[in-house]
Amino acid sequence: MLFTVLTGLITSSLLVPFGKFIKTKWSILLPFIPVLLFIVYLLYVPDVASGTNFLQHLPWVPSLGINLDFKLDGLSLLFALLITGIGSAIFFYARTYLRGHQYYDRFFGYLLLFMSAMLGVVLSNNIITLFIFWELTSISSFFLIGFNNDNADSRKSALTALSITGIGGFFLLAGLVLLGNIAGTYVISDLVAQHNIITSHQLYPLFVGFILIGAFTKSAQFPFHFWLPGAMKAPTPVSAYLHSATMVKAGIYLLARFTPILGNTDLWNYTLMIVGGFTMLYAAIHALFRIDLKAILAYSTISALGVLTFLLGLGSKEAIVAASVFILVHALYKATLFMVTGIIDHETHTRDLTHLSGLRKVLAPVFIAALLAALSSAGVPLTFGFIGKDLIYEATLHAPSHLALWLTVLAVTTNVALVAAGFMAGIKPFTGKLPQAYEKIHLPYTSMWLPPLILAILGLVFGCFPGLVGDLLNHRTANSIWGGETAMHLKIWHGVNTVLLLSLSTLAIGTFVYLINKPSILKLAAIEKFNRISPQRIITGYAYDIKRFSNWYTHLFHDGYLRSYHFKIILFAELLLGYKLWLSGPISIDFSVLTPPSWYEVVIMLVLLGALYIIVTTKSRLTSVVSTSVIGYCICLMFVFYSAPDLAMTQFTIDTLTTVLFVLVLYKLPSFMNFAKKGILVRDAVVALGFGTILALIALRVLYEPNTTEISSFYGENSYLLAKGKNVVNVILVDYRGIDTMFETVVLAIAALGVYSLIKLRLKSSEKE
């Protein structure tokens, strides 16, 4: 299984050096990659149908519990077949669709990367690995949506899609890590066994919420649905592959996969039912107002995803069976309709329903494919869609009695709109009179119209022989989601019952709606008035505000004035230190332990303070420099009194040197100018005094802290015995901390070099500017 996941990744990276061969004659090789993978997965079908699950374990980061665990069961197999099967059709189709495109190789690189990532998602048995592949699908989808990167709209849509799914991914990671920590394992099949522990944990609502946000963003559920219509800016093969059959279904896959782990609680069921139910109705009605073929398909896809979420939320055996079948039904007809739309767009250069008509005369095989898909989407008997629709009604009718009626009404209403939307996309462009402009249109290459036709015919075959796919595949899929035996047997004919009546009336009303609902720009404009309160507007407005806020915030703190940085840093330090000081309680002063000052010490300190006053207030540079040196000398004397002869000597030397250097270099400078207003000066003085006070208080508090002298006494006692020196300070510097001092010397040497070269540097007059 690892091999199948890696195939796409490896080929994708091979396209980097060998892309130019693919562009020309070897492009025929590309579609065979998904075809081969599809065959590999087909070979698994008999085993999986008999109930075998395949496991693969490769250690990756075992200490963190993150491994390349793969598991192939009914659910994974259904998705793997969809990904590779629809992938095969799309690859053949796209090879012709994009022929001659400048970035042909790049496109297939992304597409292969996406396919691998998607296979990784559905095969992973480790939630962290699953998450990594999940993010890979978002990233490859970003590149595919923004494939026409010279188009601003395209770039914007790609960014929207990435941000929405990215935010969802972020929540998903948080939820998965929480879940993994609570259960003590990241392995999905082990998590299933802990269903009771997980659902009764007090954090259950939190991580379920996180995981659901991840699934809802990916599967375009309300209120995150708006990125999907935007993503239609992608080339049509991408829309057909990612945004109908596979990537958006990753969210559904996640929900299905986690149903046995997290499901079967009120929170899970009602959230999914409400979100899914609302999304399916909202999007289905929206679809009716669109005039762009791809927009209609986008909204009906959102609606179908809502149906799936809703069914998983219903959670009954019938609902799970219906979901497992509807995944396949929808993938087949939606991919077909997208590819048909792509052909129409390719040939007529428009997707505007108000202009398209009568194309059956020139695109006959395409019309057959579209018709079959539209019929399947409408649930006409003998198509696969009919069976899917039956199962959905079966599920809503078997819901708890107080809900059954309402849910059935909801499902019927949604389906009526979907029937009409399916007809609009699949039949409308082909009926009526052929405009003169389109008479010259001829059928595209076989490789473009054959894949949709095959998918459409498959829908018909599965519809006529539902047992074929039902027993082999969907049965096991439903078992994986349900976590037990679902005893499903798909049949075409159940006899005349409520379900059949509902199904037929849906079809009748849907056709009626299709006939009276003429697509027009006016209607589109009418519904666009509601954009102001749409989630899209709210979320993008929010994103814009965040951008403005961060701009304002950056400029506030990064205004380009050094003193303003100092001011903010010091103010912040004051707040932090002041808060900590305030927390530490009152300070008491015990005079008995203090050293009494003698008169000469007091005098020296007064001199120091006087010099400080002069520095702060003087206008003369020389005076301030000299005053600084006075302060240095005062400190030097203080060192002398308090047993630090070495410090006194150093301070004296350094202070003299600094002053001399200062005077020598800067004596020419004019006196200080005062730029600041009085208010600013007062403000700075307050902040400065505040800082001084806080540090003085800290010093006072530290004065009464017990002092550890272990290290000091070690140095004191061993200074002569070990290091043969009697001046302990010197011994510490040159012996115990010798390397430290050596590097200090190096630093000084570097500074000296810098000083020397700056003094010696003579710039030419031209360089002075």
Site for other proteins in 621-660 (CB under 8 A): 621, 624-625, 628, 631-632, 635, 638-639, 641-647, 650-651, 654, 657-658
β-partners of residue 124 are: 70
Q: Which stretch in 8-16, 133-141, 451-459, 688-696 sits in contact with other proteins by CB under 8 A? A: 688-696
Q: Say how far apart CA 243 and CA 343 lie, in whole Å.
A: 17
Closer residue to other proteins in complex, CB, 66/625: 625
Q: Say how far apart CA 669 and CA 481 lie, in whole Å.
A: 83
Pairing of the two strands 54-61 and 66-72 = antiparallel
Interface size with other proteins, residues (CB under 8 A): 98
Name the nearest CA neighbour of 268 among 186, 199, 323: 199
β-partners of residue 55 are: 71
Footprint (CB under 8 A) of other proteins, residues 132-171: none
Please tell me what DSSP assigns to residue 229: H
Closer residue to other proteins in complex, CB, 185/628: 628
Residue 741 contacts other proteins per CB under 8 A:
yes
- Please report, to the nearest 10 degrees, the dihedral formed by the alpha carbons of residues 553, 680, 623, 752 taken in order: 0
Residue 707 contacts other proteins per CB under 8 A:
yes
Q: 248: Cβ–Cβ under 8 A, 6 or more apart, which residues?
A: 218, 219, 220, 228, 242, 301, 305
Residue 47 contacts other proteins per CB under 8 A:
no
Q: At what angle do helices 364-378 and 401-426 cross, to 10 degrees?
A: 170
Taking CB under 8 A as the criterion, the residue among 52, 446, 550, 727 binding other proteins is 727
Element (H, E) at 72: strand 66-72
E strands, 473-533, are: none
* CA 651, chain centre distance (Å): 58
Do 114 and 145 form a contact (C-beta atoms < 8 A)?
no
Taking CB under 8 A as the criterion, the residue among 758, 764, 765, 766 binding other proteins is 758
- State in angstroms the smallest separation of the CB of 686 from other proteins: 10
Q: Which stretch in 68-76, 403-411, 441-449, 616-624 sits in contact with other proteins by CB under 8 A? A: 616-624
Residue 607 contacts other proteins per CB under 8 A:
no
Q: Which stretch in 126-134, 138-146, 250-258, 753-761 sits in contact with other proteins by CB under 8 A? A: 753-761
Q: Say how far apart CA 473 and CA 545 lie, in whole Å.
A: 49
What single letter denotes the amino acid at residue 229?
P
Closer residue to other proteins in complex, CB, 405/556: 556
Q: Which two tokens stand for residue 199?
A: 């659902």
Taking CB under 8 A as the criterion, the residue among 14, 58, 464, 700 binding other proteins is 700
Taking CB under 8 A as the criterion, the residue among 601, 623, 626, 723 binding other proteins is 601
Taking CB under 8 A as the criterion, the residue among 596, 739, 764, 765 binding other proteins is 596
Place of tokens 């099967």: 85
- State in angstroms the smallest separation of the CB of 23 from other proteins: 40
What single letter denotes the amino acid at residue 520?
S
Closer residue to other proteins in complex, CB, 6/609: 609
Q: Which two tokens stand for residue 134?
A: 């999940």
Closer residue to other proteins in complex, CB, 167/570: 570
Taking CB under 8 A as the criterion, the residue among 595, 739, 764, 765 binding other proteins is 595
> What is the SS3 assignment for 726?
coil
Closer residue to other proteins in complex, CB, 484/645: 645
Name the nearest CA neighbour of 329 among 501, 459, 139: 459
Do 460 and 336 form a contact (C-beta atoms < 8 A)?
no
- State in angstroms the smallest separation of the CB of 352 from other proteins: 41
Residue 592 contacts other proteins per CB under 8 A:
no
Closer residue to other proteins in complex, CB, 522/673: 673
Q: What is the 3-state secondary structure (H, E, C) of 13-44?
A: HHHHHHHHHHHCCHHHHCCHHHHHHHHHHHHH
Taking CB under 8 A as the criterion, the residue among 602, 603, 738, 742 binding other proteins is 602
Footprint (CB under 8 A) of other proteins, residues 360-399: none
Element (H, E) at 58: strand 54-61
Closer residue to other proteins in complex, CB, 501/711: 711
Footprint (CB under 8 A) of other proteins, residues 540-579: 555, 560-563, 566-567, 570
Q: Which stretch in 35-43, 62-70, 328-336, 703-711 sits in contact with other proteins by CB under 8 A? A: 703-711
Residue 682 contacts other proteins per CB under 8 A:
no
Q: Say how far apart CA 375 and CA 456 lie, in whole Å.
A: 10
Residue 740 contacts other proteins per CB under 8 A:
yes
Element (H, E) at 224: none
Taking CB under 8 A as the criterion, the residue among 605, 623, 626, 723 binding other proteins is 605
Residue 709 contacts other proteins per CB under 8 A:
yes
Task: Give the CA distances from residue 594 to residues 212, 634, 700, in Å, rounded to whole numbers and listed in that order.
Answer: 65, 21, 11
Taking CB under 8 A as the criterion, the residue among 673, 678, 679, 739 binding other proteins is 673
Q: Which stretch in 179-187, 374-382, 401-409, 611-619 sits in contact with other proteins by CB under 8 A? A: 611-619
Q: Which stretch in 38-46, 129-137, 322-330, 681-689 sits in contact with other proteins by CB under 8 A? A: 681-689
Q: Say how far apart CA 529 and CA 283 lie, in whole Å.
A: 16
Closer residue to other proteins in complex, CB, 492/626: 626
Residue 610 contacts other proteins per CB under 8 A:
no
Closer residue to other proteins in complex, CB, 44/641: 641
Name the nearest CA neighbour of 236 among 107, 153, 339: 339
